[in-house]
Structure 1
Amino acid sequence: MNTLAQNHHSQITCPNCQGHEILEIPRGTSQHLYRCPSCSTILKPKSGDCCVFCSFGSVDCSSSEQNLAA
């Protein structure tokens, strides 16, 4: 299993500059906005996705055991 998934973390990658950051997937809530630390672009979920992890993350929130249990 992916180490990021085991720790409930996901690497968010900015589609604008390809900058990335590893963040903890929040428990019991969705993250709807994310500001890229490299270029300051504000990321919002793509149509049909519930959060920025599902749109831009290496691990989406639905694959996180903590969110399934919440």
Structure 2
Amino acid sequence: MTIQLDSRIQCPHCGFSRTEQMPTDACVWFWECPECGVLIKPKPGDCCVYCSYADTPCPPIQAGDGDCCQSNHEVNRS
């Protein structure tokens, strides 16, 4: 199975979206929208912002690992 690292994430506040490369070694628990500055976090039950607000789930979920990010939370403020 090929893991897709590029994912289009969209801010739920202003609708801004862009394609970003997801990390394979960390969970992105927060994402700051570069357009409006809102800091988003995963929806309840989701493991990361990509699983909540992007068109492609995070690499561990794609690989079928289930619990993607038990304790590694990364702030991505790109």
Q: TM-score, structure 1 length as denominator?
A: 0.77
What is the CA–CA distance in structure 1 between the aligned matches of 2:35 and 2:3, rounded to whole Å? 26
Give the root-mean-square deviation of aligned CA atoms.
2.0
Task: Pick the structure with more strand per residue.
Answer: 2
What is the CA–CA distance in structure 1 between the aligned matches of 2:25 and 2:33, rounded to whole Å? 23
The alignment-based identity, stated in percent, is 32
The 4+ residue runs of structure 1 with deviation greater than 3 A are: none
Structure 1 residue ranges without an equivalent (≥5): none
Deviates more, 1:5-14 or 1:54-63: 5-14
Task: Pick the structure with more helix per residue.
Answer: 1
Structure 2 residue ranges without an equivalent (≥5): 66-78
